[in-house]
């Protein structure tokens, strides 16, 4: 508390001025953050020294390198610092002069420009001077001609390049293009970061066959057919070779992503379904189609003897030459026909199921594309699939592993049973004592701890003696 200030000032607090002046508190100058701008010879877009300086006309003058700002306006059409619309006509070319030492200086006063210099430019000529030169030789003398080129100008044509008394009000980290670049970089980094997987309620897929809600409907539920059931989940890829009349085609099948389609193709290959069939449609620059035993494009069936559903995956697209995809007559009408792309065809995505690609024999695909075609895009010379060889079948391998696991489990059970027989052979024998419920219970064996409820025998007493000892009329109450 400060004493001696009078009755009205005898208070339990101090004022802001008392804190600053009497107690060495925080000064007014400390409360104002000084924004440090870029040096006058720096481009506000590249944040480096400029080579061909231009300025953007506006409330404040910002200098840019001509090449950098031209590309930026072409791409974005906004001011790099403020984010406001900016066009090429809003730019003004500036001419800085250098002294004998190679430093920027006023061509009239021959004073080097520093961060404390008041620098201006004449808008009509673009020449850059110190404020002292313009003030003394133009403004005070009312001589409104450029000091070097003698071009006439008006006072409103004077452009302030740097004014130490009126510093820049936006720090470079707050520039529009700097903040925008930072936000985009953070978005890219965030996209690269994989989100933590959410815990699942179940650890394995279960399929009910279509009967889950049958009890809630009066309509009888139809069981799913084999073609409608989901494919067997495997983690490996499949590999098949089609030997054609023009050479081999080695195919990689994505069984790990589209199991139903790959299982159909592999089993058709194993059953020699494609042997002797032709590629009935060939469109150079687009694709070649086959898999129809009739050779017309209207035949063919799946291994389940009916059409099966599409399997679309975001990882599998019609995005390159050699993509292997299913031909169909509409949604969920897959059979045996397939096609191989000659080029990227994005319009087929989510319309046809991609299930593999050509990984060997691209020269064979090149020969196919060069083949002469006739009416209906059919090759003049038949391109025949001589044979189809399956090098790797993940579905068969998975079935074998499952069978082996079953055999091993059965052997373990048998070994455990045999070991029990050797350690306790009597325990393995079962004896029946009667028919019906309790046939394995021995009626002559008393349970441990259970008292024998049979009457005690105190000697041989005949039935006649028993009847004489206790008359029927005897009462045992009193």
Q: What whole-number distance in Å separates Cα of residue 103 and Cα of residue 97? A: 8
Active site residue 429: no
**Residue 71 in contact with residue 77, Cβ under 8 Å?**
no
Confidence category of residue 344, pLDDT binned at 50, 70, 90: very high
257-261, 401-405, 442-446, 450-454, range with the lowest pLDDT: 450-454
Is 328 part of the annotated catalytic residue set? yes
57 annotated active-site = no
**Contact predicate 334/244, CB 8 Å:** no
Do the beta carbons of residue 51 and residue 96 sit within 8 Å?
A: no
422 pLDDT band, cuts 50/70/90, is: low
- In this prediction, residue 31 carries a pLDDT of 46
SS (H, E, C) the chain: CCCCCCCCCCCCCCCHHHHHHCCCCCCHHHHCCCCCCCCCCECCCCCCECCCEEEECCCCCEEEEHHHHHHHHHHCCECCCCCCECCHHHEEECECEECCCCCEECCCCCCECCCCCCEEEECCCCEEEEHHHHHHHHHCCCCCECCCCCCECCHHHEEEEECCCCCCCCCHHHCHHHHHHHHHHHHHHHHHCCCCCCCCCCCCCCCCCCCCCHHHCCCCCCCCCCCCCCCCCCCCCEEEEEEECCEEEEEEECCCCCHHHHHHHHHHHHCCCCCCCECCEEECCCEEEECECCCCCCCCCCCCCCCECCCCCCCCCCCCCCEEEECCCCCCCECCCEEEECCCCHHHCCCCCEEEEEEECHHHHHHHHHCCECHHHCECCCCEEEEEEEEECHHHHHHHHHHHHHHHHHHHHHHHHHHHHHHCHHHHCCCCCCCCCCCCCCCCCCCCCCCCCCCCCCCCCCHHHHHHHCCCCCCCCC
Of 50, 338, 339, 395, which one is the catalytic site residue?
A: 339
Distance of CA 221 to the CA centre of its chain: 38
Q: Does 329 score more than 80 pLDDT?
A: yes
The stretch 458-466 carries a mean pLDDT of: 51
- pLDDT confidence of residue 96: 94
Q: Is 200 a catalytic site residue?
A: no
> Which residues lie below 8 Å from residue 271, measured CB to CB, with a gap of 6+?
303
CA-to-CA distance for 470 and 459, rounded, in angstroms?
A: 17
Task: Tell me the chain's radius of gyration from C-alpha atoms.
Answer: 48
Backbone angles phi, psi at 105, to 5 degrees: -155, 165
Average pLDDT on 183-204 reads 65
- Binning pLDDT at 50, 70 and 90, where does residue 185 land? confident
CA separation for the pair 256, 385 (Å, rounded): 26
Cα→Cα distances 422→330, 410, 419, Å: 66, 19, 5
- 352 in active site: yes
In the prediction, which pLDDT does 167 show? 76
Closest-CA residue to 371 (of 290, 467, 262, 256): 290
Rounded Cα distance between 64 and 43, Å, is 4
Who wins on pLDDT, 467 or 275?
A: 275
Q: Where are the domains of the chain?
A: 53-174, 238-397
63, 94, 147, 348: the active-site residue:
348
Q: Does residue 334 carry a pLDDT above 90?
A: yes
Among 102-116, 128-142, 177-191, 442-456, name the one with the lowest average pLDDT.
Answer: 442-456
Active-site position among 153, 286, 309, 312: 286
Q: Which of 73, 70, 72, 65 is nearest to 47 (CA)?
A: 65
Tell me the per-residue pLDDT of 3-19, one tens digit each, with 9 for 90 and over.
555 555 677 888 888 88
Residue 382 CB neighbours (<10 A): 13
For residue 239, pLDDT beyond 60: yes
222 pLDDT exceeds 50? yes
Confidence (pLDDT) at 175: 82
The yes-or-no answer on residue 99 being catalytic is no
Among 3.30.2320.20, 3.40.1190.20, 2.40.100.10, 2.40.40.20, name the CATH number for the domain at 238-397. 2.40.100.10
Quick check: is 38 catalytic?
no
Least confidently predicted of 79-83, 147-151, 310-314: 79-83
428 vs 84: which has the higher pLDDT: 84
Task: Name the catalytic one among 96, 281, 316, 341.
Answer: 281
| All residues at 6 or more sequence positions from 111 whose CB lies less than 8 Å from its CB, including other chains | 105, 117, 130, 132
Calculate the average pLDDT of the chain: 81
Please tell me the predicted confidence (pLDDT) of residue 444. Answer: 73
pLDDT grade for 477, boundaries at 50, 70 and 90: very low
Q: Identify the CA nearest to 261 among candidates 351, 352, 340, 350.
A: 352
Cα(349)–Cα(284) distance, integer angstroms: 20
Looking at residues 96-107, what average pLDDT do you find?
93
Measured CA to CA, the distance from residue 102 to residue 193 in angstroms comes to 49
Q: Nearest to residue 377, comparing CAs of 288, 272, 257?
A: 288
pLDDT of res. 381 = 94
pLDDT for residue 358:
96
Please write the tens of the pLDDT for every residue from 129-160. 999 999 999 999 999 999 999 999 999 999 99
- Give the active site residue among 264, 289, 334, 337: 289
Per-residue b or e along 213-223, where b marks 16 or more CB atoms closer than 10 Å to that residue's CB: eeeeeeeeeee
Q: Does the structure show a pLDDT above 60 at 29? A: no
Residue of 113, 162, 352, 355 with catalytic role: 352
User: Which of 414 and 278 is assigned the larger pLDDT?
Assistant: 278
At 265-275, the pLDDT tens digits run: 999 999 999 99
Q: What confidence tier does 423 reach under pLDDT thresholds 50, 70, 90?
A: low
């Amino acid at each position: 508390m400060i004493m001696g200030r009078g009755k009205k000032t005898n208070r339990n607090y101090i004022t802001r001025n008392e804190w600053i002046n009497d107690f060495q508190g925080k000064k007014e100058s400390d409360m104002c953050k000084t924004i440090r701008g870029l040096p006058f010879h720096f481009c506000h877009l590249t944040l480096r020294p400029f080579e061909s300086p231009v300025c953007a006309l506006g409330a404040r003058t910002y200098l840019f390198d001509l090449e950098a700002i031209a590309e930026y306006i072409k791409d974005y059409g906004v001011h790099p610092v403020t984010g406001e619309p900016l066009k090429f006509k809003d730019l003004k070319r500036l001419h800085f002069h250098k002294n004998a030492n190679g430093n920027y200086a006023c061509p009239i006063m021959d004073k080097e420009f520093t961060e404390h210099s008041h620098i201006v430019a004449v808008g009509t000529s673009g020449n850059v001077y110190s404020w002292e030169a313009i003030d003394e030789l133009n403004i005070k003398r009312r001589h409104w001609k450029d000091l070097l080129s003698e071009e006439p100008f008006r006072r409103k044509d004077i452009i302030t390049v740097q004014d130490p008394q009126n510093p820049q009000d936006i720090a470079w980290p707050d520039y529009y293009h700097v903040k925008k670049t930072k936000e985009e970089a953070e978005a890219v980094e965030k996209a690269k970061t994989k989100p933590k997987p959410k815990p699942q309620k179940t650890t394995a897929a279960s399929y009910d066959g279509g009967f889950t809600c049958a009890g809630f409907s009066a309509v009888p539920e139809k069981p799913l057919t084999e073609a409608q059931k989901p494919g067997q989940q495997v983690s490996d890829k499949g590999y098949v070779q089609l030997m054609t009349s023009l050479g081999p085609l080695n195919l990689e099948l994505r069984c790990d992503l589209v199991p139903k389609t790959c299982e159909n193709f592999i089993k058709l290959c194993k059953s020699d379904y494609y042997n002797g069939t032709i590629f009935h449609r060939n469109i150079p620059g687009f694709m070649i189609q086959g898999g129809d035993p009739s050779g017309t494009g209207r035949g063919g069936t799946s291994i389940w003897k009916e059409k099966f559903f599409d399997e679309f995956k975001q990882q599998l697209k019609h995005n390159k030459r050699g993509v292997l995809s299913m031909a169909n007559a509409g949604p969920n009408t897959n059979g045996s026909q397939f096609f191989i792309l000659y080029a990227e065809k994005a319009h087929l995505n989510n319309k046809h199921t991609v299930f593999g690609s050509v990984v060997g024999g691209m020269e064979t695909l090149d020969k196919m594309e060069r083949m002469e075609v006739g009416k209906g895009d059919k090759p003049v010379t038949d391109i025949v699939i001589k044979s189809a060889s399956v090098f790797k079948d993940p579905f068969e391998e998975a079935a074998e592993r499952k069978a082996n696991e079953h055999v091993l489990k059965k052997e373990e059970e048998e070994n455990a049973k045999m070991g029990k027989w050797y350690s306790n052979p009597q325990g393995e024998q079962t004896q029946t004592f009667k028919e019906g419920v309790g046939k394995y219970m021995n009626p002559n064996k008393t349970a441990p701890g259970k008292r024998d409820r049979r009457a005690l025998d105190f000697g041989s007493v005949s039935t006649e003696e028993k009847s004489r000892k206790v008359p029927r009329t005897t009462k045992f109450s009193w």
